[in-house]
Amino acid sequence: MVNVRDFIAWLIRWRRRHFSDNNFVLLVSFFVGIFTALAGLLLKWLIAQIEELLTHKFSVTNANWLYLVYPVVGIWLTMLFIRYVVRDDISHGVTKILFAIARKQSRIKPHNTWTSVVASAITVGFGGSVGAEAPIVLTGSAIGSTLGQVCRLEGKYMMMLVGCGAAGAVAGIFKAPIAGLVFVLEVLMIDLTMTSLLPLLVSSVTAAGLTFAVSGTKPIFEFHLQNAFSVDRIPAYLALGIFCGLASLYFTRTMNMLEGQFRKLGGVYRKFVVGAVMLSLLIYLFPSLYGEGYELITLLLNGTGQEDWNTAMDRSLFYGSDHLLVYLFLIIIFKVFASTATNGGGGCGGIFAPSLFLGCLCGFIFCRWWNTYEVLGIDVSERNFAMLGMCGLMSGVMHAPLTGIFLIAELTGGYALFMPLMIVSVGSYLTIKYFEPHSIYAMRLAQRGELLTHHTDRSILTLMSMDSVIQHYDQVLYPDMNLGDVATQVSNSKNHVFPVVNRQMQFVGAVYLDDIRHLVFRTELYRDFTVSQLMKQPEARLSVNDSMDVVVKVFDRTGAWTLPVVDADGIFVGFIRKSSVLTVYRQVLADFSND
């Protein structure tokens, strides 16, 4: 009987003899595209089936009390699935990908290839006010990472396949191959070279092509252009961009604040109760918050008049009301509460769909305000501005202006409005960038110094780990030892610096060979000097939790060549030499760079 591991090992040896790594990655990226597209199709199908099963008999003219029940059940089932089946944190999908690239050599746990699909299908299908796109991006990246690990590819190719999975996921679930590629470059911050471009293109095109073959070539959202681009509307586009940037700022900061409050709640069940109650009440009052909200987006993009748009208030307490703009404005205010309650209470979902949803509402409301007050005497189209608002929120929340432009153009087929898309996207991005330097995905990692960026030096330092440069010591000196004990260690070691610790192994100083070289060979002095007399305090101490960026800055500031590393209790861990840092830096740089 053939051993599976032996067969895989033989297959890998055969591959290395017949395929270069660059060519093999192209082949793997093709399969990554296929698997991510299938995962996206499965997830969308599951969500649609669950939502149709639960809500197809709901009354249009009245509020439906089951809106108070379904979200609670969905979060409860998701929480149980994550707690007892997955037994791992699968929230904040894109942030997890960024962390894996920066700190885990692009290794994502294999269970993420399917667990996010199940969890997000339950959450969104039962009404969780989040999107399914971020979980599928994590799924795609996990597929790429798992295939890379199975094929035992090197670090830079692992990073490339993680990017391929993300690109394929965005391209497949949105039918947007260009946006999939741009998303990886902007949000995951993988540098664009010919070596990385080709695999990303293969995965994006493969995933989008398979999705087109299964579900047709029509865009996700049907859009009919009402007014073509004209120069006199540029002020309106600029104003919309600023408005979307401020709305993005509100969304980002409010979500961070609410997530902080949920973290303070402590226990899982306490979070569940608070999140489930908050979400169910909001959905009962505003049924448009149920699920991804794509139905309302479609309505605002294709409505032909007030009668059509008023159907947004169907199934709610606001049915028959004339206060549509008030209803939509309240949804904008409370959408972030619903999304945070979903994830904070134990659900699983992302912010792609909430960003598109909010952007559509912001664009529509801004347009109605602009036309009501006849600003500059220029009328603008509700449909066009609803579509442009989606671009603005996407660009602002994700700090990804190109992704916003291409994603909305491909989602709606609104290529004729490319110039307005660019204006709104840049306006929104520059507005939020003034207040928030990092996207909602990246800010947590940036605060800990674990964010990979397009700044090459910082990226290399981020990819380096403390363990790779720390020199550990089997022997140490104690303050009461004499010069003879030091000489014994010196004669059996190639080191030039020796740690001095107390009996609790806390670092108290260091003995440098250069300082005692003239004494080591004078045996008559061995009992005349103790280690406490010979040791010195180093220029600085490093913490085992310091990032490599901090390590390099300390070396530069002190001019030292060797520095000790201690833990939070002052326990000695080892020494770091500047020469070791430079050696590992060069190795990572060579691996990070492309042929």
Using one digit for the tens of pLDDT, what is the confidence trace for 380-433?
A: 888 899 999 999 999 999 999 999 999 999 988 878 889 999 999 999 999 999
How many contiguous H segments (helices) and E segments (strands) does the chain have? 25, 6
Contacts of residue 432, Cβ cutoff 8 Å, sequence gap at least 6? 245, 246, 248, 249, 252, 396, 397, 399
User: 274 vs 332, 333, 338, 408, CA distance in Å?
Assistant: 21, 19, 11, 34
pLDDT value of residue 595: 44
SS3 sequence, 151-207? CCCCHHHHHHHHHHHHHHHHHHHHCCHHHHHHHHHHCCCCCCCHHHHHHHHHHHHHH
Q: How far apart are CA 188 and CA 123, in angstroms?
A: 25
- Helix H or strand E encompassing 497: strand 497-501
Taking CB atoms within 8 Å and a gap of at least 24, the contacts of 538-542 are: 538/509, 538/510, 538/562, 538/563, 538/564, 539/563, 541/507, 541/565, 541/566, 542/566, 542/576
- Give per-residue burial for 295-325: e unless 16+ CB within 10 Å, then b: ebbebbbebeeeeebbebbbbbebbeeeebe
Per-residue pLDDT of 480-501, as tens digits, reads: 888 888 888 888 888 888 899 9
Q: 260 CB contacts (<8 Å, ≥6 apart)?
A: none
According to the model, what pLDDT value does residue 522 have? 80
Please report, for residues 92, 366, 435, the alpha-carbon distance to residue 22 in angstroms, rounded to integers and kept in the order given: 31, 49, 41
> Half-sphere exposure (CA, 13 Å, Cβ side) for 441?
30
Chain centroid, CA 24 distance in Å: 27
Token pair in block for residue 223: 């859009």
Which helix or strand (DSSP H or E) is residue 407 part of?
helix 401-412
Q: What is the pLDDT of residue 414?
A: 77
**Which H helix or E strand runs over 356?**
helix 352-372
Nearest by Cα to 413 from 393, 382, 383: 383
- Does the CA dihedral 384-389-395-398 come out positive or negative? negative
SS3 annotation, 1-39: CCCHHHHHHHHHHHHHHHCCHHHHHHHHHHHHHHHHHHH
Element (H, E) at 50: helix 21-55
CB neighbour list of residue 232: distance below 8 Å, 6 or more residues apart? 376, 378
Query: SS3 for 564?
Result: strand
Per-residue confidence of the chain (595 residues) as pLDDT tens digits? 456 677 667 777 777 777 777 788 888 999 999 999 999 999 999 999 999 999 877 877 777 888 899 999 999 999 999 988 998 888 777 777 877 776 677 789 899 999 999 999 999 999 999 998 889 999 999 999 999 888 888 777 888 899 999 999 999 999 999 999 999 888 876 666 666 788 999 999 999 999 999 998 888 888 877 777 889 899 999 999 999 999 999 999 999 899 889 988 878 889 999 999 999 999 999 999 998 989 999 999 888 778 888 888 888 888 878 888 999 999 999 999 999 999 999 999 988 899 999 999 999 999 999 998 888 888 888 889 999 999 999 999 999 999 999 999 998 887 888 999 999 999 999 999 999 887 777 766 555 554 544 455 565 666 677 777 888 888 888 888 888 888 888 888 888 888 999 988 899 999 888 888 888 778 777 788 888 888 889 989 998 888 787 888 888 888 888 899 999 888 998 999 888 888 877 776 666 554 4
Are the beta carbons of 139 and 86 closer than 8 angstroms?
A: no
User: Do 315 and 62 meet the contact criterion of CB atoms below 8 Å apart?
Assistant: yes
Domains of the chain: 4-215 (1.10.3080.10), 231-451 (1.10.3080.10), 458-592 (3.10.580.10)
What is residue 279's DSSP assignment? H
Amino acid, single-letter form, for residue 208: A
What are phi and psi for residue 194, nearest 5 degrees? -65, -35
Q: Which residue has the tokens 């969500």?
A: 47
Task: Provide the pLDDT for residue 3.
Answer: 67
Residue 229 confidence (pLDDT): 83
Beta bridge partners of 576: 470, 563
The set of residues, in sequence order, having a beta carbon less than 8 Å from that of 205 and lying 6+ positions away, is 33, 171, 177
What would the pLDDT profile of 139-155 be if each residue is shown by its tens digit?
999 999 999 888 888 77
3-state SS, residue 576: strand
Written as one letter, the residue type at 551 is: V
d(CA 136, CA 134): 5
| Residue 571 bridge partners (DSSP) | 506
For 218-272, the three-class secondary structure string (H helix, E strand, C coil) is CCCCCCCCCCCCCHHHHHHHHHHHHHHHHHHHHHHHHHHHHHHHHHHHCCHHHHH
Distance CA 79, CA 272 (A): 8
- 7 vs 266: CA distance, rounded Å: 48
Q: How far apart are CA 81 and CA 255, in angstroms?
A: 24
- The sign of the torsion formed by the CA atoms of 266, 267, 273, 275 equals positive
Please answer whether residues 249 and 436 qualify as being in contact, where contact means their C-beta atoms are separated by less than 8 angstroms: yes
Q: How far is CA 374 from CA 44, 367, 370, 425, 529, in A?
A: 41, 10, 6, 24, 90
- Yes or no: say if 475 and 489 are a contact pair by the CB < 8 Å rule: yes
Instruction: Show Cβ contacts of residue 334 under 8 Å, excluding neighbours closer than 6 positions.
Output: 282, 286, 289
Q: Which residues, 6+ apart, have CB-to-CB distance to 495 below 8 Å?
A: 471, 473, 513
